[in-house]
Amino acid sequence: MRPERSKSSGSIINDPQVRGIFYQAITIIILAALIYWIVDNTVDNLRRANIASGYDFLRSRAGFDVGQSLISFTSDSTYGRALLVGFINTLLVAITGIITATIIGFLVGIGRLSHNWIIAKLSLAYVEVFRNIPPLLVIFFWYSGVLSILPQARDALALPFDIFLSNRGVAFPRPVAGEGAEYTLLAFIIAIAASVFFTRYARQRQLATGERLPVLWTVLGLIIGLPLITFLVTGAPIGFDVPVAGKFNLTGGSVVGPEFMSLFLALSFYTAAFIAEIVRAGIRGVSKGQTEAAHALGIRPSLTTR
């Protein structure tokens, strides 16, 4: 038998694990020193230029106005309130734009599958045009090419329901809540909560017994019927401040400015083109065998597709 060779101790420097830890430590020290130098140099330069750092500026006076805001804002408001106004405006244009783009996109997507040659080609042209134009250019188109050439406020176009359209935006009646209007809002919140509870209960009941409850009509009855009944019982405590066309301007009501309208229309029409393709692809994705099986069961589509 050969005696086992004893392990040589070797040098610590030649140990790969030790070298790895050493190089990592050196790298961390260099990065920390570099970050400290950058921060210290930046703070020193800001101090020399008399530029304040931090978030204290949010409590300072903004000194500018915002064209469209759902909450009160003046030039004497703070920068923090200006950021809040921008956040609320972003939510508003996002929510309204999503709803409008979904409706337009669904109709255009269905139109692309129509047997009517004109409707199909117009839908195709809409999709190809808006999908290949940058959104910023679409915004400029609505603002400079459509809204800016509308009549002035004194010659505003009168639309139904006391709505006026001019180069200053869209003026419409503003609802004014009276005494007891909070009960209608409370009834609407209760209706939404009850609809969610009933939908879950109907799903669990269907899984347990196979019985399907009329979820759609029940939910519509709750969301529409309950607030409407409460509104009528409390004496319809909501009035409207109607805009009136004067000699030089419109007074009263609420006005949506051209800036918001151009952004809203541009994002809605631009996004609708992509939604239309999603709708068309979803319908086309259904295999022909499933369509034939549905026809064999007597199911006929309301809008036939190729």
Residue 85 phi, psi (nearest 5)? -60, -45
pLDDT, tens digit, for every residue of 14-31?
A: 778 888 888 899 999 999
pLDDT, tens digit, for every residue of 132-166?
A: 889 899 899 898 888 888 888 888 888 888 888 88
Return all residues near 9 (Cβ < 8 A) that are at least 6 apart. none
pLDDT, tens digit, for every residue of 24-80?
A: 999 999 999 999 999 989 888 888 887 767 777 788 888 888 877 888 888 888 888
| Whole-number Cα distances in Å, 93 to 100, 131, 137, 165, 260 | 10, 20, 18, 19, 8
Could you tell me if 126 and 146 are in contact, meaning their C-beta atoms sit under 8 angstroms apart?
no
Length of the chain: 306
pLDDT, tens digit, for every residue of 112-135?
A: 988 899 999 999 999 999 988 898
- Bridge partners (DSSP) of residue 158 are 164
Within 10 A of 254 (CB to CB), how many other CB atoms are there? 13
| Whole-number Cα distances in Å, 18 to 9, 13, 22, 23, 26 | 14, 7, 6, 9, 12
Amino acid at site 173: P
Return all residues near 264 (Cβ < 8 A) that are at least 6 apart. 93, 96, 97, 100
**What sections of 146-287 are H helices per DSSP?**
181-209, 215-220, 226-233, 258-284
pLDDT, tens digit, for every residue of 193-208?
A: 999 999 999 999 888 8
Q: Is the pTM of this model over 0.75?
A: no
C-alpha 142/C-alpha 259 separation (Å) is 9
| Whole-number Cα distances in Å, 12 to 18, 21, 79, 277 | 7, 12, 59, 65
Could you tell me if 162 and 281 are in contact, meaning their C-beta atoms sit under 8 angstroms apart?
no
- Bridge partners (DSSP) of residue 255 are 171
Mean of per-residue pLDDT scores for the chain: 85
The pLDDT of residue 7 is 47
Return all residues near 214 (Cβ < 8 A) that are at least 6 apart. none
C-alpha 126/C-alpha 273 separation (Å) is 7
Within 10 A of 120 (CB to CB), how many other CB atoms are there? 15
C-alpha 306/C-alpha 132 separation (Å) is 26
Could you tell me if 275 and 109 are in contact, meaning their C-beta atoms sit under 8 angstroms apart?
yes
pLDDT band at 304 (very low <50, low <70, confident <90, very high): very low
Using CA atoms in the order 129, 132, 137, 141, what is the torsion angle rounded to 10 degrees?
0
C-alpha 132/C-alpha 130 separation (Å) is 5
pLDDT, tens digit, for every residue of 169-178?
A: 888 888 888 8
The pLDDT of residue 51 is 75
